[in-house]
Structure formats: structure tokens, C-alpha cells
Amino acid sequence: MHTDLYKILQDVKENRISVEEASSMIRTEPLASLDYATIDLQRKNRQGVGEVIYGAGKTSEQIIGIVKKMRENTKDGILITRLSKDSANAVKEALSDEFSYYEEARIGIVGEFKKPDGIGTIVIVTAGTSDIPVAREAEMTARFLGNEVEFICDVGVAGIHRLLSRVEILSKASVVIAIAGMEGALASVVGGLVDCPVIAVPTSVGYGASFEGLSALLSMLNSCASGVTVVNIDNGFGAGYNASLINHMGK
């Protein structure tokens, strides 16, 4: 994915903008400081995506303050993860129609989704219904970043015929996100069925010996299927973000 900085330099090279115009665009103050946060205003220039707000542990007032400071410097959409319903209500009251909240995913979005412009489709597949909240976080993250997403739920290995009935959808994916708790076997099975990267997400779903997702994490790390990589326990955001990077390679 080409960053804003790359595009600015490309515009200079092809004489669409002057060196002076480019210098003015790049010279934006790199940081904005609040009493409780230091905001990276040039992250999009470097990485192609602006700073994402992690909502857990922050007060509603802090989240609102960060959003307002970011909005002073960009009109791009802002993603807020792990946002509680109470904080979402406060943000909604402060920002009015600019804000949307997706409770199951615990995600808030200020502004608009990016128009889909990836090279293909990200397919998200869960082992069980209990894994859906993490899957929704991955889904909303990927959609926010400009990706088409297909969603398949409750097709774990306890009834593997359910997964096999969806092979046609899986085979068309540019990236698959496989989400599972318990023993975490779904990622290995999916990895053996597809020819694209698989991002495995262990969830904290399961009985005592699952150790709140550690068993699934270790199983996924030990997968014998080629092309499987693993993010942290319950990290739907990380999976969605990395899937988007893959789905925008060459863009």
C-alpha cells in the first residue's frame, strides 16, 4: 500500500505539484500534545493509515479530546477499538452524526469508511458462535481500511463438513482470517485448504484447560500448515489490520 508521503513524492516527480507545495504538505507538525496523550499526526504519511485509538482504559473525556484534536488535522475517518457502550454514548453525544458504534465489535468510527480498493476479498471464518465478537472486530477493522469482507461463522472442526461446504468461498479469498478458541484447530485445517495467507486469531473461549486462549495460541503457533501466521489472543483488530495490508499489496 502506497503511503501519503509516497504519493506526494510521486506527484512531484510527475510535475502534478511543485516542490514548494510538497514541502508545505510534508511540513505538518508531526505531533499534537494533550495533557494525557501525544498524538502522531504523520502516521498516515509513514504507514498509509492514521493513528487508531485504543479505547479500553481511557475515559470518555480523553477519547473525545483525542478525537477532536485529530479532527483538527485530518478529515479522514478515525477508528476507535475496544470501546465500551457507555463511552460510545458519550462520544456520540459529543460528535453527533459523525460517529457510529458497532457494539458487538466494540468499535467506534468517526467519519466515513474508506471505499473498498483492495486486490481481492478478505474471508473471516470462526470456529464457533462464541468467537463472533472477536471476528466482528476484525471485520469492522478490515472494512474501515477499505476491504471487501466475507463472513463465515460456526464452522469449527467438531463438524468439519460445515467448513468443507464453504470451500468455494474460501478458495476465492486473497486473505483468510481464521478465528477459534478451545483447541484452535480451525487455523490448521483452513491453512491446508487455501492457497493464500491465513491469519490465525486465538480467542479466550473454552473451558479451564484452554487457559483463556493460551491453548489455542500455542496450537496455532505449532500449526503444520504452511502460510499460517498468528496474532495475539482476542486480537481481532491486529488480524483485520494485517489482512488489509496483504490485501493492498501493490496498490
pLDDT digits (tens, 9 = 90+) for 54-99: 999 999 999 999 999 888 877 889 999 999 999 999 999 998 778 9
Sign of the dihedral through C-alpha 109, 115, 119, 123: positive
Round the average pLDDT of the chain to a whole number and report it. Answer: 90
pLDDT > 70 in the chain, percent: 95
Cβ pair 149, 140 in contact under 8 A: no
Task: Check residue 4 and give its pLDDT.
Answer: 65
Task: Check residue 128 and give its pLDDT.
Answer: 94
Average the pLDDT over 225-247 and give the result: 96
Question: Confidence band (pLDDT; 50, 70, 90) for 27?
Answer: low
Task: Check residue 154 and give its pLDDT.
Answer: 94
Phi, psi of 210 (to 5 degrees): -75, -10
Range 80-118 burial, b when 16+ CB lie within 10 A, else e = bbbbbeebbebbeebbeebbbbbeebbbbbbbeebeeeb
Task: Check residue 25 and give its pLDDT.
Answer: 67
What is the distance between the alpha carbons of residues 76 and 144, in angstroms, rounded to a whole number?
Answer: 11
Instruction: Say what the pTM is.
Output: 0.86
For residue 39, the cross-strand partners are: 32
Query: Hey, what's the cell of 211?
Result: 487457559
Q: Is the pLDDT of residue 129 over 90?
A: yes
Q: Which long-range contacts (CB under 8 A, 24 or more apart) does 207-215 make?
A: 210/181, 210/182, 210/183, 213/181, 215/182, 215/183, 215/184
